[in-house]
């Protein structure tokens, strides 16, 4: 049975044929590809052991101090990078008064712009700025407009007609969210490029330590910036080694997990709260979602060579792997990024993808992979990809 839309199309096609009007060919299948990745971080490097001793010193009870030191050791983090020193009390009370959310946003903007412009410029090194049709800017640590996205457009000379999409408060999955939007854009506009730019400056929201939850947050998060440039491969085009071809994307909101990850704006800053239930939510939720996406792509889990899992902390990596029946070392690149940088929220997975893309020259010309991260909700978001190795 022909639908009204199908009938309308058939009628129009017949009319065009009678009047000798050229009928446009169906669009060529386009596949989004990550063509370039760039990352960067602030210059201040803080050793985790130093941070642990400082944090423990905020408590007077010896048992609490010992507990804090254990929490820091369990993070498997060696160093983190920061825009401002989170151990400096002056960040809590600029001008001698308690910091306000406005103080934090001004601090964010001042430090975010130069870092974001530098990373974006390097990502666009081989791209004509005029070809950029979409800029996705993602952060959960800065809410200001006109913001960093406008500064990037101005400083890099991007077209004033460039579409801008700002993604706030999608947490650690914001890069995946942005890549999904950018992929849809290049499918619809294959002659254009899209850039996803993420920056997180968690250090500008450091607060005086009042309880163990503050210590947990203070043990995990670091600062960083990452950008990916996405273009469209229209079939038959040569793909360079190091290119990540996005085969499929997925997102799934786990049921009854709203308490898991919460981001909020308070009078004195932006806060993130992590429930003790997050590891259980991840263990229960990851395997069913990944299994569904594999089946719809005609893949088995054994076909996946590369696992890019958000390095949000040891429990996130361990429970993700345990859910999938994988050994912890299956996501070895994620563990390395966690150790060197801590949890940079939305930025972390871009660091992981950059290192994976550099793994070229292997015997196998193409490796299949899956990347995913987690957002408030709790939501898993990611994509299936092919890594061109040679």
Report the percentage of the chain scoring pLDDT > 70.
90
pLDDT for 2: 40
Q: How buried is residue 247: exposed, middle or buried, by Cβ count under 10 Å (0-12/13-18/19+)?
A: middle
pLDDT for 361: 75
Q: Is the bond leading into 2 cis (omega within 30 degrees of zero)?
A: no
DSSP sequence for 84-111: S-TT-GGGTSGGGS---HHHHHHHHHHH
Taking the C-alpha atoms of residue 151 and residue 381, their distance in angstroms, rounded to an integer, is 28
pLDDT for 42: 97
pLDDT for 296: 97
Q: Is 352's pLDDT higher than 50? A: yes
Residue 257 Rama label (left phi>0; alpha psi -120 to 50; beta):
alpha
pLDDT for 350: 98
Range in 64-68, 97-101, 383-387 with the lowest mean pLDDT: 97-101
Q: Is 258's pLDDT higher than 70? A: yes
pLDDT for 276: 92
pLDDT band of 92, cuts 50, 70, 90: low
Residue tagged active-site, from 172, 198, 225, 272: 172
Range in 16-20, 209-213, 289-293, 335-339 with the lowest mean pLDDT: 16-20
User: 283 near 319, Cβ under 8 Å?
Assistant: yes
Residue 172 annotated in active site? yes
Q: Which residue has the tokens 């410029």?
A: 121
Closest CA relative to residue 372, chosen from 316, 329, 322: 316
Q: Is 237's pLDDT higher than 80? A: no
**CB neighbourhood size of 31 (10 A):** 19
Q: Is 106's pLDDT higher than 80? A: yes
Model confidence over 262-293: pLDDT tens digits? Answer: 888 888 888 888 899 999 999 999 999 999 99
Model confidence over 174-222: pLDDT tens digits? Answer: 999 999 999 999 999 999 999 999 999 999 998 877 777 788 889 999 9
pLDDT for 211: 79
Taking the C-alpha atoms of residue 332 and residue 59, their distance in angstroms, rounded to an integer, is 35
């Amino acid at each position: 049975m022909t639908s009204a839309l199908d009938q309308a199309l058939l009628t129009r096609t017949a009319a065009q044929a009678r009047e000798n009007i050229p009928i446009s060919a169906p669009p060529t299948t386009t596949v989004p590809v990550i063509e370039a990745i760039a990352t960067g971080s602030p210059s201040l490097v803080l050793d985790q052991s130093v941070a642990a001793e400082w944090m423990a010193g905020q408590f007077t009870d010896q048992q609490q101090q010992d507990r804090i030191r254990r929490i820091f050791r369990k993070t498997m983090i060696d160093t983190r990078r920061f825009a401002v020193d989170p151990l400096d009390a002056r960040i809590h009370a600029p001008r001698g008064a308690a910091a306000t959310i406005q103080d934090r946003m001004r601090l964010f903007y001042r430090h975010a712009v130069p870092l974001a412009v530098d990373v974006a410029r390097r990502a666009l090194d081989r791209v004509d700025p005029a070809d950029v049709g979409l800029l996705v800017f993602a952060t959960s640590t800065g809410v200001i407009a006109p913001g960093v996205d406008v500064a990037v457009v101005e400083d890099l000379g991007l077209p004033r007609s460039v579409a801008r999409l700002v993604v706030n408060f999608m947490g650690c999955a914001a890069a995946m969210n942005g890549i999904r939007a950018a992929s849809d854009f290049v499918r619809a506009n294959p002659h254009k490029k899209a850039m996803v730019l993420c920056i997180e400056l968690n250090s500008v929201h450091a607060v005086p330590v009042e309880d163990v939850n503050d210590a947990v947050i203070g043990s995990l998060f670091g600062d960083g910036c990452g950008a990916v440039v996405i273009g469209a491969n229209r079939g038959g085009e040569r793909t360079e080694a190091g290119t990540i071809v996005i085969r499929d994307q997925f997102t799934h909101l786990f049921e009854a997990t709203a308490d898991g990850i919460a981001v909020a704006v308070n009078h004195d800053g932006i806060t993130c709260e992590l429930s003790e239930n997050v590891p259980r939510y991840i263990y229960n939720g990851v395997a069913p979602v990944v299994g569904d996406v594999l089946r719809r792509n005609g893949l088995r889990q054994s076909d996946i060579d590369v696992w890019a899992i958000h390095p949000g902390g040891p429990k996130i990596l361990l429970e993700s792997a345990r859910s999938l029946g994988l050994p912890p070392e299956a996501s070895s690149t994620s563990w390395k990024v966690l150790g060197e940088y801590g949890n940079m929220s939305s930025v972390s997975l871009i660091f992981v993808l950059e290192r994976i893309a550099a793994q070229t020259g292997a015997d196998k010309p193409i490796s299949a992979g899956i990347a995913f991260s987690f957002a408030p909700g709790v939501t898993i978001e990611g994509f299936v990809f092919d890594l061109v190795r040679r």
